[in-house]
Amino acid sequence: MNKQPIGPFDLWQETMTALTRGGLLLCTAGADGKSNPMTIGWMTGGVIWGKPILEVLVRPSRYSFSRLEQNAEFTVNVMPREFVEAIQICGSASGRTTDKLAETRMTATPAQEVKVSLIEEAVISYECRVVHTNEVVPQRLEQGIVTTFYPHGDFHRVYFGEVLAACADADAKARLAGWLS
């Protein structure tokens, strides 16, 4: 599908709804340039330092973590509802041992501003360059969050990505209607 440039937050409500209903795909690429999609269920965005920023959280145990450390760029891809199984596979299989793009029959396509690929089948895509990272500090978290989300440690690193470009299918709202209802 032919993607059109959009503003970083033009389809934000649709992006957040897809995030809470099924997850989004974060793509990373290490020094080898090979794309690795990972399902994310946590993300936020806004304007920080006068820049449009997406904040994504990645655990150090994840393959995507090492790839983000090698190449401080990522893409976020909003998939249509028919890719719910692919989203689940990308959230359970590791890129260390599985070519998730091949397994899910999704297609990597070049981004405009970053070296990390977009997913061709995505309805909305964001291209980001990391401008800052923070560690989740257990001593500063509410105890219930630690107990619920970090019973084995493995606290996330938060990546602040400046949105350098965003694009969407012309019919993005219609294609995402299944997530929105």
Question: How confident is the model over 16-36, as pLDDT tens digits?
Answer: 999 998 889 999 998 888 899
Q: What is the pTM (predicted TM-score) of this model? A: 0.94
Residues of the domain holding 155? 3-180
What is the full DSSP assignment across 75-136? EEEE--GGGHHHHHHHHHS-TTT--HHHHHT--EE--SSSSSPEETT-SEEEEEEEEEEEE-
**Weakly modelled stretches of the chain, pLDDT under 50:** none
For residues 165 and 100, give the distance between their C-alpha atoms in angstroms, rounded to a whole number.
24
Q: What is residue 77's predicted lDDT score, i.e. its pLDDT?
A: 97
Q: How many domains in the chain?
A: 1
Q: What is residue 173's predicted lDDT score, i.e. its pLDDT?
A: 84
Q: What is residue 81's predicted lDDT score, i.e. its pLDDT?
A: 87
Q: What is residue 181's predicted lDDT score, i.e. its pLDDT?
A: 58
Q: What is the CATH number of the domain that holds 24?
A: 2.30.110.10
Q: What is residue 31's predicted lDDT score, i.e. its pLDDT?
A: 85
Report residue 136 as tokens: 């989740």
Cβ-contact 111, 76 below 8 angstroms: no
Q: What is residue 180's predicted lDDT score, i.e. its pLDDT?
A: 58
Q: Name every residue whose Cβ is closer than 8 Å to that of residue 23 and which is 6 or more positions away in sequence.
A: 39, 40, 41, 87, 91
